[in-house]
Amino acid sequence: MSGKLDTSYEDPEALAVKVLDLTKNSRIAIGTSGFGSVGYPKTFPKYLARMAAEKGVKISILTGASAYAMDGVMAEAGVAERRYPYQNNPVMRKLINSGVVEFMDYHLGEWPFLVRNGWLDNVVGTLDLAIVEASKIVGDGFVPTGSVGSVTAFVDMAKHVIIELNRDVSEELMGIHDIYTPKPGEPIPVRNVSDRVGSPVVKVPPGKILGVVESHGIDVGGKPVEPGRTEKAIAENLLEFLQEEIRRGRLPGNLYPIESGVGAVNDAVFKAVGEAGFTGLRAWTEVIQDSLLNMYLDGKMESMSATSLMLSPQNLERVYREAEDIKKNIVLRPQDITNNIEVIRRLRVIAINTAVEVDIMGNVNSTHILGKNIINGIGGSGDFSRGAFLSIFITPSTRKDGRISTIVPLVSHVDTVDHDVDVVVTDQGYCDLRGLSLRERAKLIIEKCAHPTYKDQLWRYYEESIKEGGHAPFDPVKAFSFHINYINTGDMRGG
């Protein structure tokens, strides 16, 4: 079914009442746009949350990834019941960690597939409503704003759709998006970073549209991050590894397409990498932060593909001003394309993600504090580490003024298993783990990546753990000794 969408505006409060009258349930499930706190609906969720609170309705919230302010609205109204698959709002996080809101973390590349195939139906039921932010309505579809995320899956699976037309987002974004849905049994026809294989708009059956709401607001995806001494040291060690791979002929001079994880450490490290003299770089990643965009604008990056523009206001404004040029070489895609393991492997992506902690065998925790409290979620690091040509994890060797070692005997929560970790880089050095046994890995990680303050402590654990034999350097009694020290004294040192 096709036809032009009605672009007349609806009153958001009346529309919220209409939604709850249509569902007639005490629980509803919504899927919203938003990825990297960019492109989430900014107006309608406020009215829906207020009306749901008045009527005692609970809401299961599905997004592509983070939707910072919208999560805050839902959490503060007390209507959030479930949240998937990634979040970064402190109020929502507190409710999740206290058990008030049920949460499950998923690999973001798999998430749209799970939604389409009903994996959550037994818990949340069918998707009642998709709420999507648009920069423009074109015929029988809409142009997303600064992210794509899971909007295609939500629009396809939801009973009803509400479009928020954001008047503060430039219509010049038309043409930067490449909307393609994977077809069962068929390869995704992307062979190069800048390939376009889909449509610039998201198509919506007109019969699904409940209404269009006018909205305003500029996304603030991040602030410019200046690398400090620690980030510069991590960058220097990362560059040393990459340049050695080039010297050995295992990487081309302009590298393979790179993926940069989300966050201040990654952004600061890539700012430093951008000053290393590389040219002709490409990025196949899930989020474009300031460091990557600046590399493109400086002529060092020739093309980029992502699902979200997580930029500072200054750089976002520059994207709007220079949209015609930027759209030639920068593409925004659904997350089940950007994070698809098949494509990541085909393009030989070099994945560089941040760890909360790494253990001496190479397992990575990127989501939890002391094994129990969620921070944000695994995001795309699992997708990229499993499919990458090279899977690299970076982290400062210590945090909290040295009271926490990020190199520990055993991580308190496993997100990426040792099998999917090729290289670990800290401000102390780098470890190439390829081909090494678990014992060999442990010795190299302690020697090259641990902070000097914790080396003796780690060596003692290693020597004691192998006394009884065994393939892995593992002592079930003392594996969490670092974490127990911190719980008891606020410092991992000692013991």
SS3 category, 68: helix
Instruction: Provide mean pLDDT across the span 69-91.
Output: 97
**180 with 151: CB under 8 angstroms?**
no
What is the spatial distance between Cα 256 and Cα 268, in angstroms, rounded to a whole number?
Answer: 20
Beta bridge partners of 143: 136
Residue 39 to residue 356: CA distance in whole angstroms: 27
C-alpha pair distances (Å), 71 with each of 90, 106, 219, 311: 9, 17, 14, 20
pLDDT tens-place string over residues 428-456: 999 999 999 999 999 999 999 999 999 99
Start-to-end Cα distance in the chain: 68
Specify the 3-state DSSP secondary structure of 472.
coil
Residue 220 in this model has a pLDDT that exceeds 90: no
- 342 burial type by CB count under 10 A (0-12 exposed, 13-18 middle, 19+ buried): middle
Q: What does each C-alpha distance from 129 to 12, 143, 151, 160, 179 come to in angstroms?
A: 14, 19, 11, 5, 20
Q: How far, in whole angstroms, is CA 259 from its chain's centroid? A: 11
Phi first, then psi, for residue 351 (nearest 5°) are -95, 125
The sign of the dihedral angle between the CA atoms of 282, 286, 292, 297 is positive
Q: What length does the chain have? A: 495
Give the per-residue pLDDT at 277: 85
Beta bridge mates, 61: 30, 83
Distance from C-alpha of 63 to C-alpha of 419, rounded to nearest angstrom: 29
Please write the tens of the pLDDT for every residue from 301-339: 999 999 999 998 889 889 988 999 899 999 999 999 999
Is a pLDDT exceeding 60 seen at residue 6?
yes
Average pLDDT over residues 351-367: 97
Cβ atoms of 392 and 352 within 8 Å: the answer is: yes
List residues with catalytic annotation: 286
SS3 353: strand
Domain covering 229-489 assigned CATH 3.20.20.70 in the classification: no
| Cβ–Cβ < 8 Å for 60, 79 | no
**Is the pLDDT score of 3 beyond 70?**
no
CB atoms near residue 313 (< 10 Å): 14
Residues of the chain with CATH 3.40.1080.10: 12-215, 229-489
Q: Is the pLDDT of residue 405 over 80?
A: yes
Residue 80 has pLDDT above 50, yes or no: yes
Confidence of residue 224 (pLDDT cuts 50, 70, 90): low
Q: Give the pLDDT of residue 266.
A: 78
* Partner residues linked to 131 by β-bridges: 32, 162
Question: What element of type H or E holds 188?
Answer: none
Q: What is the pLDDT of residue 1?
A: 41
pLDDT of residue 241: 96
pTM score:
0.95
Predicted local distance difference test score (pLDDT) of residue 269: 79
Please provide the CATH number assigned to the domain covering 12-215.
3.40.1080.10
Q: 106 vs 27, 415, 417, CA distance in Å?
A: 22, 10, 15
The Cα 142–Cα 177 span in angstroms is: 11
| pLDDT level of residue 495 (50, 70, 90 thresholds) | low
The whole-number average pLDDT for the span 37-51 is 96
- Report the pLDDT value the prediction gives residue 358, as an integer from 0 to 100: 98
Q: What is the reported pLDDT for 2?
A: 52
Tokens of 18: 């209409």
Query: Is residue 14 classed exposed, middle or buried when 0-12, 13-18 and 19+ CB atoms within 10 A define those classes?
Result: exposed
135 Cβ contact list (under 8 Å, min separation 6): 143, 144, 145, 165, 166, 169, 170, 171, 173, 174
Q: Is the pLDDT of residue 385 over 70?
A: yes
pLDDT at 222: 67
Q: Is the peptide bond before 409 cis (omega within 30 degrees of 0)?
A: no
Sequence-separated (6 or more) residues with CB below 8 Å from residue 424 = 355, 358, 362, 392, 393, 394, 395, 430, 431, 433, 445, 449
Identify the pLDDT of residue 464: 96
